[in-house]
A and B are shown apart, each in its own frame.
Chain A
């Protein structure tokens, strides 16, 4: 009767554990199920729409949603999900046809994958609307001849630099004597190389970072080099090993392999790591998404010492990879008219998105409205980068995310591991991409 003795010796008497657990569970189960029913009735009764969005981008929509609710009486439920989870959730619901949302906020790179299940928003793209949007945002919204999303905000990498270092007369003199021209925020690849090498005095200070774990920055350099597209051209042909891709890879990887202007760990360096290195004062320059400018923490040693400039230029001039997000309505949604009304409202009140923690918008006029305020000093370089001729979006290919994850990032990681053969890496990447796109 070992079991009995064990039972006798316990602090919980016979079945107390079960009773307590059962009672607690039932106490929670009943209100939870009743609550679900009440909520369903409430949802059916009042006008409401559900908008699924990425956690970081929710703030962009909050003020717009509040104003929409105030003016129309329609409740807007913003459902916040993690970046990767949002794709899975939308993908699952669109493929099963069982939808819990009326509007979805989509990253531009997901648009081709979901376009077939999205409602046309052609009527919203009037000539006036197109004129107030960057060309890359208009082209990113159009898949297979139909507009499937209304831009909410966009972003691009620009150049961040240390004003205190660039403004130091001692540094200016030393730079001038070594390179024969004045120290200033670099505008070209050559200047970027020079300045990065000049400030590399490791381990406390390096010229810049080299991000081996993300692909967007290298793609921006590909456009700067004059490539007609990144990885694929407009017709879908694989061009990843063309001379412009090769030149961009050599410029990008040589910063680490040849000039050694970055801290150790290039293959693992991603956005967060690069931002952190800069905010710790470990790098003199950083190519990074513009929104980060007002987000430098007050306890950072570089707080108040950071300047911003447009993205650097190659042979084809300045170029960046735009990172727009769109609002889209599912084709089989239950609330299409209201959802479309919200899309139009969001565009009309796009400037409200600037007053958020991310602080970005989609319309040129919204950016222009704020660009002269010191807090928004990053808007002018952002506008210049986004308006540059060479700036174009990523290919509208449903396999794009897969190309990034399985080909581009591994290839970049290999390129920053010492004696990499750039041409061979791109040739191998070409066959991998070819296999994926068919």
Chain B
């Protein structure tokens, strides 16, 4: 009987591992293929039939990518826009979510639903008017202007994420802080935020990634002084075809900081993702 249970458990576990492996392959394959392509020779890049592993490994694509004009500047612009947008998103989302969760008013509920609706508007519908607005306030082709535009994308999601995390933090903690003489803001800053730090980290990463990978607003709002990497990567697609080798090399380089950031904050992300699950 014990052996039967043990066998069944092992079979279930094997099946789960196989499923997990299939999902990982499904998700990881395009990225792994991109990375491997970046090490291929120009003639092997889109060989017919395609080759998975490079026949000859080369760093020539990375050299060409990094030597392309505007690449280091674009990397810096991406970092600027993403950092500013992340800070703006958190500065606005944390108090907004705190107000909604702690006061529980009807306007608060309407506001949070409204934030969700804003998320449903196609970015292109916002993009064209933003061109005019940024031009008129002199923020066109600046990292700040682009970061503000990116915040319109990340803010609704940030508010929703933060609301779910703050909802999971017991109100009794705020009350205890208030009894000890803290103000509302003091309670938020000194007591609630440290408890929800994991959630804030997750929200920050989502906001950062939303800006880091964003293409449309960067295309419409930047020219020389703030052009970000997604546009520079897309520039390798010309009217006569795609420079696969250089493009994949640059995309590989561009994904490194995000991978490192995710690894660095891995514990916080896991903690943040489970924070909403222990609400009560």
- Is there an interface contact between B131 and A276, defined as CB atoms closer than 8 Å? no
A12 within 8 A of B: yes
Which residues B130-163 have CB closer than 8 A to chain A? 131-132, 135-136, 138-145, 147
Task: Specify which chain A residues have a CB less than 8 angstroms from the CB of B139 in the assembled complex.
Answer: 33, 36
B259 contacts the other chain (CB 8 A): no
B43 interfacial by beta-carbon distance below 8 Å = yes
**Residue numbers in B under 8 Å from A98 (CB-CB):** 131-132, 135-136
Least CB distance, B47 to chain A, in whole angstroms: 6
CA distance A10 to B195 in the complex (A): 11
Say whether B177 faces chain A, with CB atoms less than 8 Å apart.
Answer: no
Contact A299 B90 (CB under 8 A): no
Interface size in chain B (residues, C-beta < 8 A): 69
**Range, interface on chain A:** 35 or more
Q: Are A7 and B224 in touch, CB under 8 angstroms?
A: no
Q: Is B116 in contact with chain A by the CB < 8 A criterion?
A: no
Knowing A32-B142, A92-B127 are in contact, say whether A4-B195 is a contact too (CB < 8 A): yes
The chain A residue sitting closest to B41, CB to CB, is A299
Query: B201, A81: Cβ atoms under 8 Å?
Result: no
What is the chain B residue whose CB lies nearest that of A289?
B240
In the complex formed, the residue of B with least CB distance to A272 is B241
Taking CB atoms, residues of chain A closer than 8 Å to B194 are 3-4, 7, 14-15
Of all chain A residues, the one with the shortest Cβ separation from B236 is A55
Q: Known: A89-B219, A276-B46, A279-B43. Is A6-B241 also a contact (CB below 8 A)?
A: no
Inter-chain pairs besides A36-B225, A292-B240, 13 sampled, C-beta below 8 Å: A18-B90, A28-B84, A32-B80, A36-B143, A36-B226, A56-B240, A80-B70, A83-B238, A96-B131, A100-B223, A265-B48, A272-B241, A299-B41
A39 on interface, CB distance cutoff 8 Å: yes
Q: Which residues of B contact A (CB under 8 A)?
A: 41-43, 45-48, 70, 79-80, 83-84, 86-88, 90-91, 127-129, 131-132, 135-136, 138-145, 147, 169, 173, 189, 193-198, 200-201, 204, 219-220, 223-227, 231, 234-242, 244, 265, 267-268, 271, 275, 278
Interface majority SS on A: helix, strand, loop or mixed? helix
Do A7 and B219 have beta carbons less than 8 Å apart? Answer: no
Q: A36-B138, A96-B132, A98-B131 are in contact. Are A83 and B239 (CB under 8 A)?
A: yes
Q: Is the CB of A21 within 8 A of B86?
A: yes
Given contacts A82-B234, A92-B128, contact A77 B224 (CB under 8 A): yes
